[in-house]
Amino acid sequence: MWVTSGTAYAWWMTWDGRQADYWGGASPGSGKCACGETGACSGRCYCDINDNIWRVDSGYLTHKNDLPVTQLRFGDTGSGHEQGYHTLGKLICYP
C-alpha cells in the first residue's frame, strides 16, 4: 500500500471528502495499519512486506469525525505482479 518514497497507493475518503491515510486499528494521521501502530509488523502494514505470501491487515475504523467511509481508493504499484483485495464491512453504531 506504500512505496519506499512514502507515496500512498491506497487510501479512503471521509464523509466530507478528505483523504484518510490510516487503516482499521490505527490512529488518524498515522499513515499506518493496526500492526504498524502496535509494532507487530516491521513497516506500516503487513501488506507492504512483498514476499509473495498473502497477508491480512484488518481492524475497525473508530474515529467518528471521519466516518462513514465514502470511497476506497487503490492505485497501481507499478510492479505488475502484485495482487490484493479489500473488503469494507457494515457500519456498526455503538452508543
Residues 11-54 pLDDT 10s: 999 999 999 989 999 999 998 999 999 999 988 899 888 788 88
For 24-85, give the DSSP string.
TTS-TTS---HHHHHTSSSSS-GGG--SSS----------GGGPSP-EEEE---S-SS----
List the chain domain ranges. 1-95
Distance in angstroms (rounded) separating the CA atoms of residues 66 and 95: 17
Residues 63-83 pLDDT 10s: 999 999 999 988 766 666 777
pTM for the model? 0.82
What pLDDT, on a 0 to 100 scale, did the predictor assign at position 77? 60
